[in-house]
Every structure is written in C-alpha cells, then in structure tokens.
A = this chain, B = another copy of it.
Amino acid sequence: MKNKKWFGIITLVSLILFVSTCYAANSHGKKRQKKIGILLVTFGSSKASAQVSFDNIDKKIKTLYTNTEVRWAYTSHIIRKKLAKQGKHLDSPEVALAKMMDEKFTHVAVQSLHTMLGFEYEDLKNTIRAYKTMEGFEKIILGNPLMATQKDMTDIVDAIFQIIPKERKKDEAVVLMGHGSHHPANAFYAALMFQLQLKDPTLFIGTVEGFPEIDLIQELLHKNNIKKAYLMPFMSVAGDHAKNDMAGDDDDSWKSILTKAGIVCVPVLKGMAEFEPIVNIWAGHLEGSMAQFK
C-alpha cells in the first residue's frame, strides 16, 4: 500500500521535473519541427574519374546518417556549367541552401570537402555567414576542410602512412601533389611537409600553384639520393591535375620533370576521397557539426 502511494508520488515528481525540463528546452528553440540536412560541398570535377571519390564519400556519409537527407553542391561555376551541358545539374552552395531553406530544413550541417582553408572555403564561409543573417535556418554549421586543426594534421600524417602503396620500399619516395593557392592557408602544405618528414624523410608534399614547388622537391630527392618515387594527388579527386600536371606526358608534368632528373616515377591515380582513412577525417568534422544539433 505505502509502496504504491510513494511510487505514485515519485512518478508525479519525476513527471513534473521531466515536463519542466522539456518546457525549458522548448522555450529556447522555435516551435518548428526539427528537420536536419547535410550539404556536402566540393569544388567539383567534370572528369568521370572523379566520380568514384564523390560516390565514396556519399556512401560513407549516407551510411553514417541513414535518416538524414544528404545533398551536394559544387563551388566551381565552370564545372557546374560543363556538367549542365552534359545534362547533370549541380547546385551552387547558394542555390542548394536557398532550396533547403524553402523546404523548411531547420538545421543544416554544411561539410566542406575542400582540402584546405583557402579561397573556396572562405567564400563558402561567407555564404554561410550571410545565411545566418536571413530568417530560415535555426542553426547552420560549416565543417572544416581536410586540413585545419593540429589534430587534423596528425590524423592526415597517420592516414597517409596507411594509404601509400604497399609495394613501396624504404628508400623510395612518396611525393604528394597538393593544389596550392595564393591564399595564406598555402602554409599548411609546408606544415604538412614538416610533419611528414618528421616521421619519414622520404615523404614529400608539393603543390601545383605555390610553395613547396616541384623544383624544391626534386632538389630534396637528389639530396636524399632517391631513385624512385610514387606520385599521388593530395586532392579529393584524381581529376585534371592528377592526370595532366602530375602524371601527364607533357614536359612540365611532375612525372616528366622527375623522370628527366633520373627518378623512376610511379603515378597513383586515386583521389584522397577514395581512401577510407582520409574520408574518415572529413566525416569526423561533419560528426562534430551534427553533435551540435542534438
């Protein structure tokens, strides 16, 4: 008898407290039903060879967030235009977000699939800042690109050691090709070079557009008396740059330059987003955003 009475009181007290907690929670947010969406944003590529990278990320993210809609946007206007001519219509981040706003998404995690905190990322950040000032989303968060925090740098170094070709011998180099930029964030490549070489002095990273340049890398390969190098794109996809600037037959491709310098080159035509350990870093950034929607 008494037990029942007490049980009733406990239930009541618990209920009151529980309800008041929920009420408090409600009073913080708006009344709209929560609708979470993910927007994956990449520079984009018109090469078919790039699609495998995008498909891989898409599959990974959809497996992780089965109940959440996952959409894509391409930051490159030229790529979007090229694809449109082929009948493939990709949205700009602005159009993609405006559509999600129209469809009453309340929480949007935008995940940059860029490699670095460069101009493309900054424009995207600027767009998201603008969307924050408009009525529409309750919360919109932009996830960091691949290389941002010191933890990312450590994770990237670890991942690279997992994905370099198994057949590579100790005295053979791995030369990564980053895109490079005139943006200050270009410094991240030199920072990554330092950390790669701390672990293994036969690992190198250079860029197409800036420091560290291929000339410097060639010089360092010679200094280290290296005769063979695996070339890998340090970009999400193995697109134009990987095929031509890295592994092409023109005189100014990295393969040509190094071959001419007496180094045997083995190009690896796989985008970074084809490798699980690298995709996990981007996915980790998205996870950080999604955690803020709970």
Shortest CB–CB separation between residue A278 and chain B, in angstroms?
18
Q: Tell me if A261 is interfacial: C-beta within 8 Å of chain B.
A: no
Copies of this chain in the oligomer: 4
**Complex: chain B residue closest to A17, CB-CB:** B17
**Complex: chain B residue closest to A210, CB-CB:** B150
8 contacts between A and B (CB under 8 A): A17-B18, A94-B98, A95-B98, A126-B133, A126-B134, A148-B184, A153-B211, A189-B191
Residues 205-241 of chain A, each 1 if its beta carbon lies under 8 Å from chain B, else 0: 0000011000010000000000000000000000000
Q: How large is the interface on A (under 10, 10 to 19, 20 to 34, 35 or more residues)?
A: 35 or more
Task: Find A134's partner among B91, B95, B102, B127 (CB 8 Å cutoff).
Answer: B127
**Complex: chain B residue closest to A7, CB-CB:** B6
A102 and B130 within 8 A (CB): no
Interface of A is mostly: helix
Chain B residues with CB below 8 A from A20, complex form: 21
Q: Tell me if A275 is interfacial: C-beta within 8 Å of chain B.
A: no
Chain B residues with CB below 8 A from A14, complex form: 13-14, 17
**Complex: chain B residue closest to A133, CB-CB:** B130
Shortest CB–CB separation between residue A95 and chain B, in angstroms?
4
Shortest CB–CB separation between residue A19 and chain B, in angstroms?
10
Residues 140-178 of chain A, each 1 if its beta carbon lies under 8 Å from chain B, else 0: 000010011110010000000000000000000000000
User: Complex formed: what's the CA distance from A136 to B92 in Å?
Assistant: 12
Chain B residues with CB below 8 A from A149, complex form: 182, 184
A17 and B10 within 8 A (CB): no
Task: Find A98's partner among B9, B92, B195 (CB 8 Å cutoff).
Answer: B92
Residues 108-126 of chain A, each 1 if its beta carbon lies under 8 Å from chain B, else 0: 0000000001000001001
Shortest CB–CB separation between residue A2 and chain B, in angstroms?
6
Q: Tell me if A52 is interfacial: C-beta within 8 Å of chain B.
A: no
Known: A133-B133, A153-B190, A190-B190; 18 extra A-B contacts, CB below 8 A, are: A6-B9, A14-B17, A20-B21, A24-B25, A77-B102, A80-B102, A94-B101, A94-B102, A94-B136, A123-B135, A129-B133, A147-B187, A148-B184, A150-B211, A187-B191, A188-B191, A191-B194, A193-B194
Q: Tell me if A86 is interfacial: C-beta within 8 Å of chain B.
A: no
